[in-house]
Amino acid sequence: MSAIVFQVAGQKRGIMLNYLIRAGAIASFFIITPAFAVGLTEADFVYLTTQNVQSDGEVIRGLSPKEQSRLHVLINDLMTANDPIARAKDVSNALAEFKTHQQWEVEHPGQLWDEPKRQAPN
């Protein structure tokens, strides 16, 4: 009789352990996923507005997902959290760089600034 009780208790522990592992994996996914999100958040747009950057401006509308992600990281950089001047400078420099990328793409239709340059056939 006691062997059956221990067997049932072991099964319950196994089910509970399995449940906890799955719950932990799901919770980890939802905690980690926003850190790798692509794009700008509402808070990013609020910050850009404080820097006199129009959220519907030409540069912002033309950002690639890679550039949006980089801008998001700069706006939320913990290294410049206590230095608003450095953060503003980093964001301003990045926006200027993105603008030159967009201008280059206008001057070179059908090409992207970060693609490897095509070699002319011999």
How many domains would you assign to the chain? 2
Q: Who's near 45: CB < 8 A, 6+ residues apart?
A: 55
* Residue 122 counted as domain residue: no
User: pLDDT value at position 80?
Assistant: 93
94 is written with which tokens?
């990045």
100 is written with which tokens?
């030159």
| Spatial contact of 75 and 102, defined as CB atoms under 8 Å apart | no
User: pLDDT value at position 105?
Assistant: 86
Q: Which residues form the domain of 30? A: 2-35
* Residue 78 counted as domain residue: yes
User: Looking at the structure, do residues 12 and 56 belong to the same domain, yes or no?
Assistant: no
User: Looking at the structure, do residues 30 and 75 belong to the same domain, yes or no?
Assistant: no
If the chain, 122 residues long, is cut into consecutive pieces of 10 residues, what is the mean pLDDT of each piece?
58 71 62 59 94 89 91 95 95 95 88 67 61
User: pLDDT value at position 22?
Assistant: 74
Q: Give the whole-angstrom CA distance, residue 97 versus residue 50.
A: 20
User: Looking at the structure, do residues 92 and 56 belong to the same domain, yes or no?
Assistant: yes
User: pLDDT value at position 33?
Assistant: 47
pTM, two decimal places = 0.61
* Residue 115 counted as domain residue: no
* Residue 89 counted as domain residue: yes
Q: Who's near 117: CB < 8 A, 6+ residues apart?
A: none
Pick the closest to residue 48 from 80, 94, 79 (CA basis): 94
DSSP code, position 112: -
